[in-house]
Amino acid sequence: MFDSYCYKLYFCTKHQFCAMTENSSLNITMPKTRQLLLDVARQLFAKMGVTNTTMNDIATASKKGRRTLYIYFKSKEDMYYAVVEQEMSKLVDTLEVVTQENMAPQDKLVKYIYTHLDTIRDIVKSNGSLRADFFNDIKTVERVRRKVNVKELAMLKTIIQEGVSLGIFEVENIDFAAFILLSALNGLEVPYMKESVAIKMKERREFIVRFIFAGLSKQPI
């Protein structure tokens, strides 16, 4: 009877361990597979455009079956959304680094502005044919941008608040000031894609800085 009990205990423990091991392997494999599919989709979208890319193309290029694709994504549009979301997360990550840097608020804000524009420009230009879809498919991009905008507003408010606390900025409504700045930044993204505009904006950095800080500073910068 004791031997039978030990056998059952051994069997159950072994079974649970195997189940745990299998589940752990599955949990590790799932993110890797999803990332592989996204990487392949991004490459195909960039090369062929979203419209000309099919789920079959992605399945073939990734060497995964269509069934596997549909485990992770409901449709090609769902994959495109995930690609845009992942690309835009690069912007957030980069700007978070700037926000946390130890520098004067006015210098940090200027760096934030140019980092935002340069990063968006790099993301779009590095994705080939995806560039056109990025601007044409406003609905998908805006869904992602809403999430990004919330994070950007928080970062801009932090920088402005630092300036107010140090007596450098004089702002009655920090929330609204952050909203205006972000709206201006978003509006500059498309023109900034042109090399000539980007160069001109960097050449006229001092003018842009003075223009922006005219509404924030207690005294000229």
* pLDDT at position 109 over 90: yes
* DSSP characters over 89-112: HHHHHHHHHHHTS-S-HHHHHHHH
**Closest among 164, 159, 211 to 184, alpha carbons compared:** 211
Handedness of CA 82, 88, 94, 99 (dihedral sign): negative
Q: Which residues contact 94 (CB under 8 A, 6 or more apart)?
A: 115, 119
178 close to 153: Cβ distance less than 8 angstroms: yes
The 10s digit of each residue's pLDDT in 65-97 is 889 999 999 999 899 889 888 888 999 999 999
128 DSSP 8-state letter: T
| Residue ranges of domains in the chain, CATH in brackets | 1-73 (1.10.10.60), 76-221 (1.10.357.10)
Q: Which residues of 119-146 are buried (b: 16+ CB within 10 A; e: fewer)?
A: bbbebbeebebbbebbeebeebbeebbe
**Closest among 84, 134, 106, 131 to 208, alpha carbons compared:** 106
The 10s digit of each residue's pLDDT in 184-214 is 998 888 888 888 888 888 888 878 777 777 7
pLDDT attached to residue 130: 58
218 close to 169: Cβ distance less than 8 angstroms: yes
